[in-house]
Amino acid sequence: MNEIREQARAAYDRTLAQKNLAERMAARMILAHAGGLWRCDQEFLAVLSCYLHDDEIVLLDSQGIPRKVQPLELFKAAKARNQEMLNEWLVAYAELARTRTAKDV
């Protein structure tokens, strides 16, 4: 029985799977808009929400390049991408949580 547990432990590491999922989803949070690449996380959405009443602003994209953008359009696109990825992440995380580990064998 101990051999089976060791094989199961080696085959699936939940913590590693969760870290891999987080990295994969973070990479998919990138949005191409107005000639720049934007990471659509909560911090970026909060910054954009401060400028929603302005017609045009200059922001640094995720590569550190200044880009002239229309904040309302960028906010809408970034919010949609953020919610899409978070919903996908939630579903994938639920699948990981249901996977049995060696502790459960």
Q: What is the DSSP string of the chain?
A: -HHHHHHHHHH--HHHHHHHHHHHHHHTTEEEETTEEEE-SHHHHHHHHTTTT-S-EEEE-TTS-EEEE-HHHHHHHHHHHHHHHHHHHHHHHHHHHHS--GGG-
Quote the percentage of the chain above a pLDDT of 70: 87
Q: Which domain holds residue 92?
A: 2-104
Query: Residue 2 has what pLDDT?
Result: 73
User: Which carries the bigger pLDDT value, residue 23 or residue 6?
Assistant: 23
The number of folded domains in the chain is 1
Q: Tell me: the pLDDT tens digits for 14-40?
A: 788 888 888 998 889 999 999 999 999
Quote the pTM value. Answer: 0.76
Query: Residue 16 has what pLDDT?
Result: 83
Span 52-60, mean pLDDT? 96
Query: Residue 67 has what pLDDT?
Result: 97
Query: Residue 22 has what pLDDT?
Result: 87
Identify which of 3-7, 35-39, 88-92 has the greatest average pLDDT.
35-39
